[in-house]
Structure 1
């Protein structure tokens, strides 16, 4: 009885207290209730943020871009002769047989089209004022090249007519092929940045020449060719970095027939590294030059192929017969950072025999001393010479 009575009294007291509080329209909340409510609110907010982070965090798609580049398509008259058929037509497909499979297997296939393709109406010509037929372009496309580098010292050999003919050929016949380094308008010169996207990687490529062999740039078309100029290059690179994860510059630079790295090349390579370029693919000297890593400010490093030499020519120095294909694989990591995964070189040999009908290009491993004895260059030209030069220039990158 005592216990039951106590419970009744306690309940009555609590009920009275609740009635009084209710009459005052005031509800007191315990400290536990406040902490519990705050915890639940924080937990809900945290859960919401976590959900948002999981939802918004980008999933990186593992991606690789395989790139190749070959050097100068230098169309001397004997190169044209090798392409001339009995019916008077030209076909240059035979020049690319040795590399077509690898070129077609690549995502980006670059070639330095040393000579302007102004068409036969302007007359085909070799050194010193070159002009090539459109059939060369047909052969490049058939071989699998999709990026044509055209800023060279021979760009203006046929004047602005040659350049415009060349541009119109690409636009009318192969609109999916990208030509770099020459421009039909100021708008293109000021704004065009070539980009290639695959998976989660975007690559930008820029092309410039040191000059045009003293031929004045047309006053009414000052934008016709991209010339190496630090202000212009820096501006282009800045825009390229805004558009792409990886930036490549293809400069036409160096000293002809010099297999060493020149001070001018070093200066430009450092400039490009300072501005955040990731890869340099150089051309112009008609001979191969070393491949080196170059460090710029803030520790940024780029890979530089100083020169991949000639791809094909009618030149007659032993060292101009050896060229190379640059081979680079660009990849991303789990965080989306893009860099060079692998790189190498494939040495190439230009082979020409008397009459030039058998002019061809071989991979160095497919060549032989028997072929070297037939190569109409000099009595001192040998397969062994080519292998030694490749070792001297490329070091461990070339494995005999």
Structure 2
């Protein structure tokens, strides 16, 4: 209401004072009063946190049920996935926008719940992600059709009921055409455009080709332009792509990232799917994060890098052109503890655990955390990028 009133006052001032009195002929012009210059407004900034795969294997359900029971909830379908985010929850909730990647669809409440290779997971995962502080989740992945298009619709509705915006897979055609935009508390509007490389051999129904966005840089650029037309100040591209367990990005990833960066429509490009951390670099002035690894998953312990991840944090700073630039790139190494009876899974902020500012979960030794930090940061810097902080 104040903006409306101010507008009316300004209009009135212009109408009543737009013609200044002229000096009498031959008189000196009236002195111009000294008016202090308006201070230059500080550029707007927002922090964005981006995370890799939330891949809910069956031991994560067991762990979440143990956490629910520890809190006094003993029903057969009681799960607490929020506690699992451990010492990373303050990082997630502290961002102006936090984006997760929900890799797998949810089942109806009560199940049946299905594990690898075709997933349908407890719907309480959405409440867990919301409790950790996530605002938006990409849900387009190679597992999007594991539970059919009904599973996509159920995942969309479950996450949105938890207060989390979704994109990348859609319940309706209209939704697939609507930009996914979240507005921060300071009024900055941020959009995410996401697409996946494939669907594990499943085929989209002929009348529902819109249900999952598959990677097509030209189509993603069109969506980015639509997001800006809808008022987005910042547009992020998310790619679910890469070769599993391989640190180096594929030629396809490199080409996709360059096409998106060169378009000028995206302020940052990032990815997930490979289940291991991949490098960061600047491509023609745009930050590209090829792969964040897993955030929470329980893959084979014979693949130790799948328990390690990076959570990316960027500050976006408004420039004189009105566009926002990704600044202060920060890589936060994480480690998710393997499930063991009596020891529920916890996501560990590795740097904070090593410096003693957060507790280390039982059963985790310092050498494991140091290895996670060193290996993930080596991957992040493997293409020679400079200026990346360890968070």
Match of 1:248 among 205, 230, 236: 236
Shift of 1:62: 2.9
Unaligned runs of 5+ in 2: 1-25
Q: TM-score, normalised by structure 2?
A: 0.78
The Cα offsets for residues 64-112 of structure 1, whole Å up to 9 and x where unpaired, read as: 1111011111111111111124532211122112111121111100111
2:123 corresponds to: 134
Shift of 1:271: 0.7
2:372 corresponds to: 386
**Cα distance between partner residues in 1 of 2:155 and 2:364:** 32
1:216 corresponds to: 203
The reply on whether 1:352 has 2:338 as its aligned counterpart is yes
Q: Higher helix fraction: Structure 1 or Structure 2?
A: 1
Moved over 6 A (4+): 370-373
Match of 1:365 among 324, 333, 351: 351
**Cα distance between partner residues in 1 of 2:53 and 2:342:** 18
**Cα distance between partner residues in 2 of 1:153 and 1:244:** 28
**Cα distance between partner residues in 2 of 1:356 and 1:229:** 45
Alignment of 1:183-198 (within 5 A): 183-196=170-183
Shift of 1:61: 6.0
Shift of 1:373: 10
**Cα distance between partner residues in 2 of 1:272 and 1:75:** 30
**Cα distance between partner residues in 2 of 1:215 and 1:99:** 34
1:318 corresponds to: 304
1:157 corresponds to: 146
**Cα distance between partner residues in 2 of 1:120 and 1:126:** 15
* Structure 2 CA distance for partners of 1:374 and 1:398, relative to 1, 3 Å: farther
Q: Is the 1:372–1:382 contact (alpha carbons within 8 Å) kept by the matching residues of 2?
A: no
Structure label with greater radius of gyration: 1
2:289 corresponds to: 305
How many positions carry a matched residue from both structures? 340
Q: Is the 1:390–1:398 contact (alpha carbons within 8 Å) kept by the matching residues of 2?
A: no
Q: Is the 1:259–1:287 contact (alpha carbons within 8 Å) kept by the matching residues of 2?
A: yes
Q: Is the 2:85–2:132 contact (alpha carbons within 8 Å) kept by the matching residues of 1?
A: yes
Q: Is the 1:95–1:360 contact (alpha carbons within 8 Å) kept by the matching residues of 2?
A: yes
RMSD of the alignment, in Å? 3.2
2:92 corresponds to: 103
Q: Is the 1:201–1:338 contact (alpha carbons within 8 Å) kept by the matching residues of 2?
A: no
Q: Is the 1:391–1:398 contact (alpha carbons within 8 Å) kept by the matching residues of 2?
A: no
Shift of 1:362: 0.7
Q: Is the 1:130–1:158 contact (alpha carbons within 8 Å) kept by the matching residues of 2?
A: yes
The Cα offsets for residues 211-233 of structure 1, whole Å up to 9 and x where unpaired, read as: 11111112232211111123321
Unaligned runs of 5+ in 1: 1-39, 48-53, 296-300
User: What is the DSSP-based 3-state SS (H/G/I as helix, E as strand, rest coil) of the residue aligned with 1:112?
Assistant: strand
1:69 corresponds to: 50
User: What is the DSSP-based 3-state SS (H/G/I as helix, E as strand, rest coil) of the residue aligned with 2:87?
Assistant: coil
318-327 vs 226-235, which moves further: 226-235
265-274 vs 181-190, which moves further: 181-190
Q: TM-score, normalised by structure 1?
A: 0.76
Q: Is the 1:291–1:305 contact (alpha carbons within 8 Å) kept by the matching residues of 2?
A: yes
* Structure 2 CA distance for partners of 1:237 and 1:334, relative to 1, 3 Å: closer
2:194 corresponds to: 207
* Structure 2 CA distance for partners of 1:200 and 1:335, relative to 1, 3 Å: farther
Shift of 1:134: 1.6
1:83 corresponds to: 64
* Structure 2 CA distance for partners of 1:147 and 1:373, relative to 1, 3 Å: closer
